[in-house]
Amino acid sequence: MVVATQVPTQSEKVKEMELPIIDLSIERSKVSNLIVQACEEFGFFKVINHCVPEFVIKTMEAESWGFFSKPGSEKQRAGPANPCGYGSKTIGFNGDVGEVEYLLLSTNFQSISQRSKTISNDPIKFRCAVSSYIEEVRGLACEILDLMAEGLGVPHTTPPSVFSSLIRDVDNDSLLRLNHYPPLIKDRDTSPSPFHHTHAPSSTNNLHHHHHHHNYHHHHNHNNNNNNNNINNRIGFGEHTDPQILTILRSNDVGGLQISPEDGVWVPVSPDPNTFCVNVGDVLQAMTNGRFVSVRHRALANSNKPRMSMAYFGAPPLHSRITPLPELLIPGFRPALYMPFTWAEYKKAAYSLRLSDSRLDLFRTQ
């Protein structure tokens, strides 16, 4: 099967707009209200004055560069991504591709220790860097989730909140993703990525390819065959929403992230290595009964410089039952928009669909 890498379509509008920047050091009640507002309006915001030490970020970044600088054959030792592990160009199991290579890691200590051996020549150093980074970003995620709960007025108890307790749980299913978007080389002959990719067929791919039996909404941007050959603007990671609760993203100083507040409109997010970009995931949209929005985003590999991003996806334990919070429902007036589901069920749905499909629609009550 031949799949062309997606490129943005001509009909798309790019809107210049800045994401809300939230200073975590200001008065707690103010921060919580600002966060709630940002989650309702954009589903995305940036945080400054977070307490993650710079050296923890720098150490993780250095380890990440160390891995991606290795020769391809060595990187393959950490692959294939099933879904965790090293992946190059293919995303998920259903034919999605992009100009990206990545390491997807479970945040579970045992599995990091195991994998480190295939990732680094100094596995202990790698494992320490990853563990420290995860501990810090999980702490930040928990703090933000507690502020959200306070801002929403649920529950009327002290932290940990209903949200943060899910990612604090020992069995949480959170992930760390390291993405490397290589610079686009303009000379076609030396480009590592010509216009068509042969999608390596594996038994998994064949089994899962194009499940059309669900009545989910196939998003219009599955343009796997368009003839826009603009190599300066290729899709690194195609449009999607994050399935989990909350995402904490840090990137180097190279842009590429764009969010889509409405269909066909893309807003570039300016890169800033000193801030974290935070976004609402599908599970949080469901738990807040649609008050918070899990917004579509994508990454373009449109630069001469390599982009590197590190994303922490805070997820509940597999067996957790996700349901809209009763506190946010008003019988007859504001009924539950989503059916209860377990995180395991939701994950299964996500992996049976394409990247750009609207997974949450499968769980809507109306």
Provide the annotated active-site residues: 307
User: Which member of 24, 39, 104, 295 binds ligand GA4 (CB under 6 A)?
Assistant: 104
Amino acid at 102: Y
For 164-169, the CB contacts below 8 A with 24+ separation are 166/245, 166/314, 166/315, 166/316, 166/317, 166/320, 167/138, 167/141, 167/142, 167/245, 167/246, 167/314, 167/315, 167/316, 168/138, 168/142, 169/316, 169/317, 169/320
In 3D space, the residue among 100, 56, 57, 93 whose CA is nearest the CA of residue 75 turns out to be: 100
Q: Is the dihedral of CA 248, 177, 64, 165 positive or negative?
A: positive
Q: Which CB sits closer to ligand GA4, 32 or 294?
A: 294
| Residue nearer to ligand GA4 on the CB measure, 146 or 173 | 173
In angstroms and rounded to an integer, the radius of gyration of the C-alpha atoms of the chain is 20
Closest approach of ligand GA4 to the CB of residue 118, in Å: 18
**Strand pairing class (265-268; 13-14):** parallel
* Nearest-angstrom CA–CA distance, 236 and 222: 14
Task: Please identify which residue in 299, 355, 360, 362 interacts with ligand GA4, judged by CB under 6 A.
Answer: 355
Minimum CB separation of residue 315 from ligand GA4 in Å reads 8
Q: Which of 235, 237, 258, 356 is nearest to 44 (CA)?
A: 258
Note the Cα 269 to chain centre separation in Å: 14
Report if residue 351 touches ligand GA4, rule: CB under 6 A.
Answer: yes
Q: If we measure between CA atoms, which residue out of 221, 235, 366 comes closest to residue 307? A: 235
Q: Which of 182, 243, 271, 314 binds ligand GA4 (CB under 6 A)?
A: 243
Interaction between residue 269 and ligand GA4 (CB under 6 A)? no
Q: Say whether residue 239 binds ligand GA4 (CB under 6 A).
A: no
Pairwise CA distance, residues 61 & 136, whole Å: 14
CB of 120 or CB of 241, closer to ligand GA4: 241
**362 near ligand GA4, rule: CB under 6 A:** no
Find the binder of ligand GA4 among 177, 291, 297, 298 (CB under 6 A). Answer: 177
277 binds ligand GA4 (CB under 6 A): no
Give the interface segment with ligand GA4, choosing from 111-119, 235-243, 269-277, 290-298 (CB under 6 A). 235-243
x/- site string to ligand GA4, residues 116 to 135, per CB under 6 A?
--------------------
- The CB-of-189 to ligand GA4 minimum distance in angstroms stands at 30
Residues contacting residue 172 through CB under 8 Å, at least 6 positions apart: 107, 166, 314, 315, 316, 317
Which lies closer to ligand GA4 via its Cβ, residue 36 or residue 105?
Answer: 105
Q: Which of 63, 173, 239, 242 binds ligand GA4 (CB under 6 A)?
A: 242
Torsion of CA 209, 214, 219, 221, to 10 degrees: 10
Q: How far is the CB of 92 from ligand GA4 (least distance, A)?
A: 2
CB 266 to ligand GA4: min, Å: 18
Q: Which residues make up the interface to ligand GA4 (CB under 6 A)?
A: 83, 91-92, 94, 96, 104, 175, 177, 240, 242-243, 313, 350-351, 355
